[in-house]
Structure 1
Amino acid sequence: MLQELGVQAQLVTTAARACQSGVRVAGASGRTVEQTLSHLSELCEQAAFATEPSRTAPVPGSVEPAAPEEGAGRFAVRAAELLAAFAGRDPAEPCPTWWPEQHTVGFWMRRLLHATTVHRVDLQLAAGIPVSPIPGDTAVDGIDEVLRVWFEYRLHALGITATRSCSVGVHAAGRSWLVTADQDGAAVVGSADVPAATPDSVVDGDPAAVYLWLWGRLPERAVRTSGDPDATAQLWGLLRLATR
């Protein structure tokens, strides 16, 4: 995971330096290139503080957006510092996080890997350069993270519920998740725990395509869908609220 985070961080800096100032990235984030780099630098600071409490607590919004070249350099420094710190830590070591299911250094390693990967795609598209492939294991883990951490937990934390009951099966690379949502909340079960009941709709496809579709970076035509289109649309819409 750390090796892949290093690869993705390097791709971020390379893509950012190829971007024109003020360009708004494609996909669901709505940020400019400068805002994307500022956001990633802030995530690095949050992770560094959580895993090394002796550091000064970051102030939200303190990393001002800067021109792509400057923002890329700033992110590169923060990412390198964080990778060096992570390299000497046990992923199972306890530390504060915002997800109740996992209070370990490994949470931040995983979170930074997926944030960096998704925003790397944003920046490559903004720069008009080829989008580098996403390793299959990273994509499958990213599907699990966006469904469990963002859809299931974050919606609950935000107090957001579905307008109608629905269930969606998500499949990629032999893995399966059953996603349910109703007026009482959202839930996700995966792999062997998936019940035999037929979901209202199904989304499947190449792991990287499913991963990026769930993050709002690819259109629905990039994945295969079947069943009730309203159930699929509600999953996508709720994820936009959870991940904004």
Structure 2
Amino acid sequence: MSRELGPVDHGRLLEALEIEARVLGEVAHTASAEAPVPTAPGWTVRELVRHVGSVYGVTLGWLREGRKPAQWQRGPRQDETVADHYAVARDAVIAELAAHDPADHAATWWPADPTYGFWRRRTLHETLVHRVDAERAAGTAHPAVPADLATDGVDEVLTLYFGHRLAVMGLAGTRLGTVGVQTGGHSWIARAGPDRMEAWRCSPEEAEAADELVSGEPANVYLWLWGRAAPTAVISTGGHDLAAQLWALLRLATR
């Protein structure tokens, strides 16, 4: 029986990954390779595609070798184009994930979930966020993000990156306090401070009792937490300092 850690089941995650990875490749093909990516300063579309292809390669290393690869494959081989490198890695990682039950054991960088399901979710959201980046580079004004995937992504970025990744990186908040997050019928609390960084799902009442509350449409909250939307994309009540700290810390964890 597969373990479902988020609002979306693993079958939907894999299906969405296949769609998002295909669309990202199509958008990158139609955009100029040298077009700047406004939501990822310093990157061009070419660098964006190279990055995602490399992430797929690293994911395959975790799955096939049972550990983090010794080094990233930063780019295509001499006989490969960036687009070919991306396509080969994309097809390989999707095939590997599809060939295993999400509950099957797999090495991961999150002790709470050592399964193939972790990588279905992580690979989807890596792809989805960068598909949005590619569409922004191509001139799409408001890239669409399905509400169910956005809600799942909010859960992932809070529990995985805020609640785990920041501590691994040795990063912490300077102000102690809690931020409630509400969207898509789900609620969370993120608590930061000099000696603690944690996030968990909670009741609506608990979220509303936090020091500050961030809410909005799922796509807006998701993209805001990933640094892809302006502060005005979400509604912040009870103040702004702790919400700003949450956003800034996540920018460090997810870059």
TM-score by structure 1 length? Answer: 0.91
Change (3 A) 1:219 1:197: closer
> What is the SS of the residue equivalent to 2:47?
helix
Deviation by residue 1:17-75 (Cα, 9 ceiling, x = unmatched): 12223322122564222221111111111111222229994632432599xx9423321
Q: Does 1:27 align with 2:39?
A: yes
Q: Distance in 2 between matches of 1:115 and 1:32?
A: 17
Contact 2:50 / 2:74 at 8 angstroms: preserved in 1? no
Change (3 A) 1:30 1:181: farther
Q: Greater shift after overlay, 99-108 or 196-205? A: 196-205
Change (3 A) 1:196 1:41: closer
Contact 1:37 / 1:65 at 8 angstroms: preserved in 2? no
Q: Indicate the RMSD between aligned Cα atoms, in angstroms.
A: 2.5
Deviation by residue 1:164-209 (Cα, 9 ceiling, x = unmatched): 1121110001100011101102111213497477212111111011
Which letter maps to 2:158? Answer: L
Deviation by residue 1:148-168 (Cα, 9 ceiling, x = unmatched): 111111110011111111211
Contact 1:45 / 1:58 at 8 angstroms: preserved in 2? no
**Percent of aligned pairs with the same residue?**
38
Gaps of at least 5 residues in structure 2 are 1-12
* Pairing partner for 1:2 from 6, 14, 21: 14
Q: Does 1:210 align with 2:232?
A: no
Q: Tell me which residue corresponds to 2:51.
A: 39
Q: Distance in 2 between matches of 1:65 and 1:217?
A: 31
Q: Tell me which residue corresponds to 1:18.
A: 30
> What is the SS of the residue equivalent to 1:52?
helix
Which letter maps to 2:192? Answer: A
Give, in angstroms, the shift of residue 130 of structure 1.
5.5
Contact 1:181 / 1:187 at 8 angstroms: preserved in 2? yes
* Pairing partner for 2:199 from 176, 188, 201: 188
Q: Distance in 2 between matches of 1:18 and 1:33?
A: 10
Change (3 A) 1:58 1:75: farther
Contact 2:183 / 2:216 at 8 angstroms: preserved in 1? yes
Contact 1:34 / 1:65 at 8 angstroms: preserved in 2? no
